[in-house]
Structure 1
Amino acid sequence: MLRLYLCAKKKTIEQPSEQEDEVVDLTDNEQNQAVEYLLVEDRNSESPKHFEINDGTSTSGQLELNDTLPWDGLLTVGESTDSDIVMFISGDDRLDVTVDESNLQTFPEKQDDAPHQAVDHSSVLAGDVPMSDVPAQTLPEPQSCPVTLIVRRGHCLTDLINAFKDPNITASEVNIKMRLPNGELEQGEGSGVLRDCLTEFWMDFYDSCTLGVEVKVPFIRHDFQFEEWQAVARIFVVGWKQGGYFPVKLALPFLEEVLYGSTTSSFKDSLLLYVSQQERSVLLKALEDFNSVDTDELLDVLDAHECKQVPTKDTLLPVLAQIGHKVIIQAPMYVIECWRPVVGSVADLLPPEGLHHFISQKKTTSKKVKELLNFPEEMTAAQSTVSRYLKRYIGEIDCNNLQLFLRFCTGSDLLDQAILIEFIETTDFLRRPQSHTCGCVLKLPIGYHSYPDFRSEFNNILTSSMWVMDVV
């Protein structure tokens, strides 16, 4: 198990005891990828082994790279009896790798007369050679251990994709720590932070990597290749298994094709949710009464989706189904092929006949959110007043704000967790709703003088650009 700290000036890799988990700071992805293979393992060693990086000009335990001698970029790993620290110095930055002998695993024993064993990591570090082509003895064996990812708030999409490019991460228990824009780590941790990070990831994914209005379909991006799309699929799997998060906004036929290799849902219905509200109204009017619709308006809508046929009353329905198949299945087929080998475990847990019901149950409505509220059995008059304010507020806000309300209370914008309501007493200056996402607890002050005061404070919270998880 590995703990990785990345700092501005000093970077340390240490191998902790078995009770600790691996910590990966994603705020410096290039350095992270460049150092993750510097740890060398020896399974059969009974005596402590110390390793150093040798540039071919020095064998000291503390290696100073001579600026007058060009380094060939090859890392030589050898045994040293006078140093237990691997040092790699470049400019002002210094990288320390501290080895914990109690957990050290290294190469098999070599002959006594062998001065050292050299391993060329340069091609791995540069990304020129796939991980599968690297000899097994040069890399640590994958272990199913907890992994803590340090993710920048506001950059969940890129940070998680970089972390989940490693196929072995699906076998690990993933925890999340969030780093604020000022560089500090949030105090919050646990399942609520994981759900919040997954929610932010999929919101960014919908905005940056999909097309569609009420349902979303991934589109091909030049900067998303095979590795990136498979990383998204691994986030799908880990998010569903460990965080209970499912991307319900993805079009149902797309999900069926990814998970089961065939579709049973209506492409026409999905297309109507995929297009804009104005286009939807034109298409619905044409389906209800073809002769009453403006022909030019209908043709403009169909032309926007590259329809090459002038429809009639009898052919409009199959034409819409064909367009739906094109935009939902044919256009993202490369994404489907990338995801399909990864998400098989989700398909095993979620049978095809239950997918539609499962997604419909996850979608947010005011009635369903009110049913999640768990108030104290006995409440004072002031507490009862605030509880009525909360129910009224939930009934008035739109679907987007309902999802924000759920995320504020539980970390997830899906209908997953019951919300425990607690009442607190505060001054007017400190008065604001509070939440603990790990326990799905919403704390409400009881000092509101009117419903508009309550609505105004909750609106300010939900429209805030960033929430800080400051409760451990």
Structure 2
Amino acid sequence: MNTDQKIAYYTQTDAGRSGFPDHTYGNEDRRACDTVTIFPYNNTLFWVSISVNGLSLLYYVWILCRIIRGGGCKQRCQSLCRSRCCLAVQVRCRSCCVSLRGCLCSMVKCLRSRRRQRWERMEEGTGIVIEPALEAREPDHAASCQSADPMSTIPSQLIQAQSGATGGTWTPATPNEAECKLYANESRTSLNILHGMLKFPPQMLRIRRKDMVKDLLSSFEDPSLGEKMISTRMIDEDGVDLGGVTRDMLTSFWNKVREMYFPGNEAFIPYIGLASRSKQRDFITLGRIFSHSTATLKSLPIQICRSTLMVMIYDTCDVNPDTVLEDFLLYLDCEDRELVRCSLNNFDNLGEDGQEKLQRFFSKYGMGINLRAASIRTHLINLAQNELCIKPKIFCENMRMGIPRTHMDTFWITITLQHLEQLYEGFRVIPANVWSMIRCQIWPLRNPNEKRVFGYLRDLIQDLQGENLMSFLQFVTAERKMPSSVITVGFNDTRGLARRPIASTCSCRLEIPVSYNSFDEFKTEFMIVLNSDEAKRFNAH
């Protein structure tokens, strides 16, 4: 197969020339599968589209499959496939949640039957039917042929329905608990592989805390640094980097950069105004740092809107409207978010004051409309797509240019909206979840002073909200998200001016004095530490 050609079409007439068996596209199945279109991506990766009855409903028939090559795999596939197509594949169909392993012949045959059933339902006027995960699966013909890389997929949610193909826009089904676990495991595996791609030995970076953004942008102007491990030395600080200093430096960097380059409230987009367009090229470097930070932290360093991230990765503005609308609510501040949510849920109850506020809301974004209940959702979707997909597109393109090619091929093109849901779980921090990650170094506690102070810590975490809770996590773990490992708590008996909580970010360990006599005293001193600049400096390992 010539992977240099832009698009290769394989039909019944040219199946023999292409190396595919004639029976794969037999006349008896022409109604279900007219054409198989293969879009070569690189030597081992292809996008496959199956055209149904002459109409390519791409949003649910796109499949990204990995072609497994090699002598052993080829021989095994020949022995299992009578047609000797010599191509073993591993594929996940996101539209019906079916996992298939086998040769290309068996994969296409199985998918054709499912497409035929769906096409018949569509002709009956029932629209697109999203089937649940099917129990019957293709035999594991190529189990020993699996690639070391995680299986890649292109999210079907990105591809919109063809005009007139269905009665409406496809809405992705809510994944069940088993699917969530699957996506979470796939995400962790992909992040571990991305982390393992960083090259040794680590390159030392000398960073000034007060000029952190300037220093890091300057360092990452070198494209090769995006694929190397780094070790951080904070100038005028004594901390030794065993991983925690670098994590804290990257977390602090994105906290500062977010205010300069990424507007938003709970979810953010890359964008700067016309007055700052001289800094547009910075987004190329920011894309490089974004991918490197994801590899180093094994998590996304900033909660960019899912829709915007899809624009950055796949270079498309056609994102599912429901996803765009959900992201837009997170992008807005609390007041506007509540106004938009009320207009969507019960427009008629807004009243004159509410409708006037809604009119001012649209005017703020340069959109003048006639407010009507029947069209308010459409107007909000158009506004959300403009703000989250179209407006930041040029900055997304710059960030994509900065991402190393190896990172893009291995990790970013495998990301789907379901994977992003699992990756963003770490940003949904609540006190109960943080407390569930707290462990005492010695348990059970027998010292009454330790028991008392440990109770103070529990009450403090329950009282922390929003930014204060994030600051606590950064103080202890160097990251502003749910920790991936437990936080160990130890105790000491320091008193006087030396009394304060001490954190080791490299080991996620918190040490607290037992000399506090009241919760108010404990909370006051702890909050002073969290809000002080000294808490951000490294004075120990």
TM-score by shorter chain over 0.5:
yes
Q: Is the 8 A contact 1:194 1:243 kept in 2?
A: no
Shift of 1:324: 0.8
Name the structure 1 match of 2:213. Answer: 157
**Aligned residue identity for 1:152:** R
SS for the counterpart of 1:217 is: coil
The Cα offsets for residues 403-434 of structure 1, whole Å up to 9 and x where unpaired, read as 10000001111113321111111123311100
Q: Structure 1 residues 247 and 377, CA, compared in 2 at 3 Å: closer, same or farther? A: same
The alpha-carbon deviation at position 297 of structure 1 amounts to 1.3
1:259–1:346: 8 Å Cα contact kept in structure 2? no
Corresponding residue SS for 1:206: helix
How far apart, CA to CA, are the structure 2 residues paired with 1:372 and 1:430? 27
Quick check: 2:254–2:302 contact (8 Å CA) kept in 1? Answer: no
Calculate percent identity across the aligned residue pairs: 22
2:451 corresponds to 1:388: no
Q: Which amino acid aligns with 2:382?
A: Q
Identify the residue that residue 370 of structure 1 maps to in structure 2. 435
Asked whether the equivalents of residues 267 and 321 of structure 1 are also in contact (C-alpha less than 8 Å), the reply is: yes
Give the distance between the partners of 2:372 and 2:512, measured in 1 at CA.
58
Which residues in structure 2 correspond to 1:272-311 (within 5 Å)? 272-293=329-350, 294=353, 295-311=355-371
Change (3 A) 1:223 1:465: farther
Which residue matches 2:279? 224
Alignment of 1:419-458 (within 5 A): 419-458=487-526
Whether 2:326 is the aligned partner of 1:269: answer yes
Corresponding residue for 2:473? 406
TM-score, with structure 1 as normaliser: 0.65
Cα pair 2:336 2:361 within 8 Å, conserved: yes
Match of 1:204 in 2: 256
Residue 157 of structure 1 and its aligned partner are, at CA, apart by 1.5
Cα pair 2:266 2:330 within 8 Å, conserved: yes
Q: Report what 1:470 is aligned to.
A: 539
8 Å CA contact retained: 1:423, 1:445: yes
SS state at 1:173 partner: strand
The 2-side partners of 1:232 and 1:390 are apart by 37
1:168 Cα deviation after fit: 0.5
Q: Offset of 1:285 from its aligned partner? A: 2.2
User: Any unmatched runs of 5+ in structure 2?
Assistant: 1-198
Q: Secondary structure at the match of 1:438?
A: coil
Given candidates 396, 405, 412, the residue that maps to 1:336 is 396
Instruction: Look up the equivalent residue of 2:451 and give its one-letter code.
Output: S
Which residue of structure 1 aligns with residue 139 of structure 2? none
**Separation in structure 1 between the aligned mates of residue 288 and residue 299 of structure 2, nearest angstrom:** 13
1:323 aligns with 2:383: yes
Q: State the alpha-carbon separation in 1 of the partners of residues 348 and 416 from structure 2.
A: 42
Q: How far apart are 1:144 and its partner, in Å? A: 5.8
- Residue deviations 1:370-400 (CA, integer Å, cap 9, x gap): 1111112131221111111111111111121
Indicate conservation of the 8 Å contact 1:260/1:347, yes or no: no
What letter matches 1:324 in structure 2? A
Q: Structure 1 unaligned runs (5+)?
A: 1-142
CA deviation profile, 1:46-78 (whole Å, cap 9, x unmatched): xxxxxxxxxxxxxxxxxxxxxxxxxxxxxxxxx
RMSD: 1.9
| TM-score, normalised via structure 2 length | 0.57
The range that moved more, 395-404 or 344-353, is: 344-353
Q: CA deviation at 1:307?
A: 1.2
Deviations 1:265-286 (A, max 9, x none): 6222222222222222222222
How far 1:261 moved relative to its partner? 4.1
Q: 1:162 to 1:443 in 2, by over 3 A?
A: same
Change (3 A) 1:283 1:243: closer
Corresponding residue of 2:290: 236
